[in-house]
């Protein structure tokens, strides 16, 4: 059977950010069935719609750039697939783009995030001393439950900062993909702990993934 890989980009917002990755997979499978897309099913005793998510999103994180791949076995215009699927998806999930893949999953190297903190001015005052540290160390556990201390400062690139009356936002690039994957929550958690140690009680209001990039800096497409 001839099949062609199609890559869709979808957004996850509103209440949908609290949907786990496993439930996102199930939601997409049900929506694809209702949309009657000509997709390929896995073989065996329990066939399922083949879906691949190159970079799973953490629970509670918003995104405007989530990639999802499926295989189709019949010709159908990409615009028609997008229209049909958007007609069956729940609130907070929407297909933004549909295309034939240009890059492979192994090309993924980075992800960019917008992270907002409150109170705004207290967060802004704490952030520069935080990133000025010689090291930003976190605790990490291996698969064998061994505790490691890891310095994440060399891997985090702060792209921009924005201060308003209500929020202090940072725009940051972190490693992602097969070689190394640094969760945005790890960085924001380290910042909150640093601020608390200096007497500032901050809250992370929201985190949004805004871009997925290849190792060479190009948009993952």
90-108, pLDDT tens digit by residue? 999 999 999 999 999 999 9
Burial class (CB in 10 A: 0-12, 13-18, 19+), 58: middle
Whether pTM exceeds 0.75: yes
pLDDT value at position 164? 96
pLDDT value at position 148? 86
| CA 171 to chain CA mean position, Å | 14
Using the predicted structure, report yes or no on whether residue 147 has a pLDDT greater than 90: no
- Where do we find the tokens 């090291």? 135
Q: Which of 48, 54, 44, 38 is nearest to 4 (CA)?
A: 38
Using pLDDT thresholds of 50, 70 and 90, give the confidence band for residue 29.
Answer: very high
* Architecture of the domain defined by 4-101: 2-Layer Sandwich (3.30)
Does 4-101 match 106-214 in CATH topology? yes
Write down the domain spans for the chain: 4-101, 106-214
Using the predicted structure, report yes or no on whether residue 140 has a pLDDT greater than 90: no
| CATH no. for 106-214 | 3.30.70
């Amino acid at each position: 059977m001839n099949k062609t890989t199609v890559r869709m980009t979808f957004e996850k917002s509103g209440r949908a950010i609290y949907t786990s990755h496993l439930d996102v997979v199930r939601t997409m499978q049900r929506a694809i069935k209702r949309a009657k897309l000509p997709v390929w099913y896995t073989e065996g005793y329990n066939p399922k719609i083949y879906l691949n998510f190159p970079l799973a999103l953490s629970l509670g994180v918003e995104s405007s750039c989530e990639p999802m791949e499926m295989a189709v076995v019949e010709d159908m215009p990409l615009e028609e697939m997008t229209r049909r699927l958007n007609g069956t998806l729940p609130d907070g999930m929407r297909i933004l783009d549909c295309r034939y893949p240009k890059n492979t999953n192994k090309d993924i190297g980075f992800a960019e995030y917008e992270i907002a903190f409150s109170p705004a001015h207290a967060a802004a005052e704490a952030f520069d001393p935080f990133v000025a540290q010689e090291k930003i160390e976190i605790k990490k556990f291996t698969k064998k439950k061994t505790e490691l201390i890891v310095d994440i400062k060399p891997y985090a690139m702060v792209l921009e900062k924005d201060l308003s009356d209500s929020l202090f936002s940072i725009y940051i690039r972190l490693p992602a993909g097969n070689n190394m994957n640094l969760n945005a929550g790890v960085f924001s958690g380290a910042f909150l702990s640093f601020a608390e140690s200096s007497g500032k009680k901050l809250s992370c209001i929201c985190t949004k993934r805004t871009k997925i990039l290849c190792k060479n800096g190009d948009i993952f497409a």
